[in-house]
Amino acid sequence: MIIVCQKPLKRLKINGIALFPFIFIRKPEDKENKVLINHEKIHLRQQLEMLVIFFYIFYVIEYYYWFFRLKDSYMAYKRISFEREAYAREKDLGYLKKRKLWSFLKYLK
């Protein structure tokens, strides 16, 4: 994992994004935000177990599935199984040590 601060993220409404093997964050002080970093680390693990490219393909497919059903981009994002797992477990800083393979599947609905 490599944490990088990116000024271009300042234009977006996101605080961080995981693009294997990097975590890009908007503000330098977020390097100390353990919850945000853990959230992004969960995404890195998801990306690894799906051989990276399949994570992105599945992420986009799932986003558009929910977007067309809900007609709301934010709600579609929040329904993505990868995001649901990361948000549900981001405060559990020991989660990745006990996380089982393919755990995001529990969050598919």
Q: Which of 58, 18, 43, 23 is nearest to 96 (CA)?
A: 43
**pTM value?**
0.94
Average pLDDT over residues 79-101: 98
What does the pLDDT read at residue 12? 80
Average pLDDT over residues 47-55: 98
Residue-averaged pLDDT of the chain: 94
Span of 13-27, 40-54, 78-92 with lowest mean pLDDT: 13-27
Q: Above 90 in pLDDT, residue 9?
A: no
Average pLDDT over residues 14-43: 94
